[in-house]
Structure 1
Amino acid sequence: MHLYQRLPIFVFEIEACENLKFITMAIRFNLDRNGQHLSLADWQRLPQAARETLASCLPGDDDFAARLDEIARDHLGRAVERSVDPASTAWQDTNTLPPGLLRQCELADLTPPDVGDWATLPAFRRYVLTKLSRRDTPNHCFVPAMLEFGLARTPAEL
């Protein structure tokens, strides 16, 4: 069984995250939710089994922070840092599309979703789209995520 088949990984993440070389969106969510920061370099220093343990945590897992701190102490020699920049909470507002999402739609030449469609998305999916939209440059995962979440159509569907 492939790793992605037993972990909370979106289809658009499989190529980058299948071997857990990169941090999954579920882990990013848990890091942001707990005000923790883990660099990619530190993530890659963790043994594969530790990465799999963390990657198996569902978004919003209440035990994630303690589990990460324990793993970091065991394998990095210290607890993880606390994030100095609070994560955006724009994804929590179901009445307004985040400005970054609108910008990414414009950059990708996509029609933004309706606010009603945004509001009905599960919170974790809203978080993912907001996280993918935080920069002013195109994000290569944004369009695949929009397609996967049913918020964009392929040219064949138009």
Structure 2
Amino acid sequence: MGLYDAARLFGFEVESSDNLRFIPLAVRFNLDRFGMRITLDEWQQLPYDDRALLARFPVEDDVELEKNFDLALEEMLKTHANTAPEKIARDPEPVWMHADAVPETVIRQSSLSGISAPSLDRWGQLDRFQRYALAKLSRNTDKVNHDFLPAMKEFGLVE
């Protein structure tokens, strides 16, 4: 699998990413997956074309591209922000990897949003990147995430 032809954005992200001003979920996914963290300020220091390139990296497993994402991000940050991505521990068992249990945070965010949580069957039918997106959007259980309901609608979990 090679790079996507265009930045990988969910429909609900197109407006909220503000033309890649904010870090899209595809980039967040790869950052988390590869144990890296960058700040929004660092992201915004990258030229648009670099941000678009990072958002074109696949969200599927591809060992060959893993190092390329790492190296590309490191070189971009070094060149444009005079910094390096922070290295963080990878979560060996992220909740979104499990199709057999709806995460408590997703259930709570559903409740805050005034909708039913996905059934176990529907959760299991989502691909892992969709599950990642809902888990990421539901991290804060104290307030409604403005992208959570649009994501649930886009994934066919609510009408």
- TM-score class normalised by the smaller sequence: 0.7 to 0.9
Give distance in 1, aligned partners of 2:139 and 2:96: 11
Which structure 1 residue ranges, 5 or more long, are not aligned?
154-158
Change (3 A) 1:41 1:88: farther
Given candidates 139, 144, 150, the residue that maps to 1:144 is 150
The answer for the alignment partner of 1:36 in structure 2 is 36
Given candidates 110, 113, 122, the residue that maps to 2:115 is 110
The answer for the alignment partner of 2:102 in structure 1 is 97
Give distance in 1, aligned partners of 2:49 and 2:93: 30
1:12 to partner: Cα distance? 0.4
Counterpart of 2:27, as a letter, is I
The answer for the alignment partner of 1:73 in structure 2 is 78
Once the two structures are superposed, what CA deviation does each residue of 1:18-59 show, in whole Å capped at 9, x if it has no partner?
Answer: 511011000000000011001001101111121121122122
Give distance in 2, aligned partners of 1:8 and 1:87: 24
Change (3 A) 1:37 1:87: farther
Give distance in 2, aligned partners of 1:119 and 1:10: 19
Given candidates 105, 125, 128, the residue that maps to 2:130 is 125
What is the number of equivalent residue pairs in this alignment?
A: 149
The answer for the alignment partner of 1:11 in structure 2 is 11
1:121 to partner: Cα distance? 0.6
CA contact (8 A) 1:32 1:87 kept: no
1:79 to partner: Cα distance? 2.0
Give distance in 2, aligned partners of 1:87 and 1:23: 23
Which structure 2 residue ranges, 5 or more long, are not aligned?
none
Give distance in 2, aligned partners of 1:106 and 1:138: 9
Change (3 A) 1:36 1:130: same
CA contact (8 A) 1:12 1:144 kept: yes
Give distance in 2, aligned partners of 1:87 and 1:145: 25
Counterpart of 2:146, as a letter, is H
Percent identity between matched residues is: 38
The answer for the alignment partner of 1:49 in structure 2 is 49
